Each structure stands twice: as C-alpha cells, then as structure tokens.
Amino acid sequence: MYEFAEDNIRKFFESKTIVITGACGTIGKKLTKALLEYQPNVLRLLDVDDTALTEFKDEMDGDPNAEALRFLLGNIREKNRLIRAFEGADFVFHCAALNDVAIGEYNPRELIRTNITGTENVIEAALHNNVKRVIYTSSDKAVNPTSTMGASKLLGEKLIVAANYVRGIKRTRFSCVRFGNVQDSRGSIIPRFTKRVEKGLDLILTDPDVTRFMMPLQDIINLTIKAITLSIGGEIFVFKMPSIVLRDLVDLFSEYAWMKFGISPKIETVGLFPGEKSFEELITEEELSRTIELADMYVVLPHIEELLLSYNNEIIKNIGKIQTKSYNSRFTTPLSKNELALLLKKNDVFSNS
C-alpha cells in the first residue's frame, strides 16, 4: 500500500530544490526549519511580505544550513513571478493563503484572487517547470463549507486534484493535505487567549459548546512532509486529529491566569462569527466511500476514474474499509480537560505556569 520509511526522508529531499509559498506564515516557517535538516540544495522561501521575509532571514542567521535559503519576494497572484520562482524546482509546498474566516466574509474577492486564482497560478507554474511534486495545504473549513474561506479552500483542493488529470506528459504529481486547527499558529485561538491573559483582559468566547479539531504544529509539519513522500497524485491526505470542546480550553486559560497572575478573567460569550460553524469536519460522507486508512492519516482518493488507474490493486481493495462512519468533531470523543491540559503543557503553552 502506501509505504513510508523515516530513513528515506533525507534521501528524498537531500540535494533537491524546494519552494515554499507563504513561507513566512506559521506553517511555512516551521516547514522551512524542518526541511533544512534534510540538507536540500536550495530552499526558496516565497512570501508577499517583505518585512516578514527580512525578519525571517535575521531569525535564520547562524543556522548551519542557512546557506541553502533564498528569500523571494512575490505574490502568488502573479503567475510570471511563480514561473521564475519554480525554475528547476523538484518540490513545491503551497502554503500561501488568506485564512481568516471572519475577514474573508467581508472581502470575498480577495480570497478568490489569492486562494483560487493563486492556486491555479501555482499549478500552471509547476507544470511549466515540470516540478516533480506539489503539496497543497488545505483546511477542515473546506469540508461542507459555510464560509468564503472554506469555499475558496475547497475550490483550491478541486484545482489541485484535477491538475493530475490535465497535466498531459508532464511528470508533476499534485496532492493535498487537510487538517484542522494548528495549536500554536499565528492568529489562532490559543495565541489570542495567551495575549489576553497576559494583558489582564477578558476572554472572548464564541460559544462554549463549539468543538474543534486541533493538533500541535510539529505534528502537522511531520505529516505534511510524510504526505509529499507518499504522493502518487490526486490524493487528499487527512490527518487524524483529536477534537476539543472550547469550554475546556477557556477553563484551562482561566486557571492559568489565576495561577500565573492571580487574576480571574471574565469570560464574554459573543456567538459564532459570520461563516463560522459550531463543529468541524475533516471528511465528507461521500469521500468516506473512496478513503483508505493509514496509521496516522486517512487518504481520500480522487473521484476521477482515470486517476484511480494510477493506484495498485492493494490500494484499491482497501477503499472504504475504514474504522469510522464520520469524521466530524461533534461525533468524535473529545480530549478530556486533563488530556487537553497535558497536550498544551507538552507543547509549552503553559510552560511558565
């Protein structure tokens, strides 16, 4: 079936040319540091934010492998820039996106231009340069979307999967990874709660009964790297993630605020934001019928019949034989409050408490 050997990762990336779009985002920066360990020949970091690129360059000064880094200023909305950036590349990690659900509801055209047209530009640039593999980082928001952001990520997935069908004689394989909330990503709820506690502010809560999938950043990075090594073309790799109840998270931050600062923050419930769901999904019911299960992820195979011919019989015979009827945060057993506390402490959220 899908075989993976840790020992082969270095050989897979060693002396290769790799591009990361959105390289100054949370995923992009952590991915950069992880990939450097495998000693690529060149690691090109593309981002639209020149200040963030400068700061990241300063951050990486002194890293023994930093000579492999190239800091590229550019916007994925500009196809010609991507064609130049991807020249001679072996692998592309497409992480650039606009991800804020609430902001996206008021700025849908901007999400279309970045998340959809930008992804199409990545595909065209990769095909133009005959890149070996492209991996697209998607979101649980793409599953049965109720927001502009989720809909744009869904269309991004559709473009990536279909690219395998229209690539002609090109060798490029396109695949997606889909995951829920990254525990310590920029702009996510945990950093926001941490800042509010440190400032002595109230905790703003949408709904205490909201459930979410959540995983530490390092685990996301490890699985993303694993996914590109496994890619045959057209898959959506869905990471197995624990779910949490928002009420438990708020309670833990309230306890942290009391122990650390001797304050008991007020909790303000404001209701769901526009486009936001009270639960998240990682696989649709329709997708389950063409999904296989690995130890740490599910693999949703493409619905395009011609692409399925790329897979061997051992993979095909395992389609749909998985141990879940739904991958929905409402119907999965969430981490207990104690388990959530241990996970947060393990990943240094309450390291100074």
Residues labelled as active-site residues: 141
Assign residue 96 a region (left: φ > 0; alpha: ψ between -120 and 50; beta: otherwise): beta
The identity of residue 343, as a single letter, is: L
d(CA 35, CA 18): 9
CB 138 within 8 A of CB 177: yes
For the beta carbon of residue 347, count every other beta carbon within 10 angstroms: 17
* Dihedral sign computed on CA atoms, order 25, 29, 31, 32: positive
Q: What is the DSSP letter of 140?
A: G
- The CA angle 165-171-174, to the nearest 5 degrees, is 55
Whats the size of the chain, residue-wise? 353
CA end-to-end distance (rounded Å), the chain? 45
| Helices and strands, counts by H and E, the chain | 15, 16
DSSP single-letter state for residue 98: -
Please say whether the beta carbons of 174 and 235 come within 8 A. Answer: no
CB contact set of 187 (below 8 Å; sequence gap of 6+)? 99, 100
Which residue is associated with the tokens 């009964």?
209
Angle, to 10 degrees, between the axis of helix 117-128 and the axis of helix 148-163?
A: 20
In angstroms, the CA 70 to CA 65 distance is 12
Angle at 336 between CA 330 and CA 340, to 5 degrees: 105
Q: What share of the chain is helix, strand, coil (3-state, %, to 5)?
A: 40, 20, 40
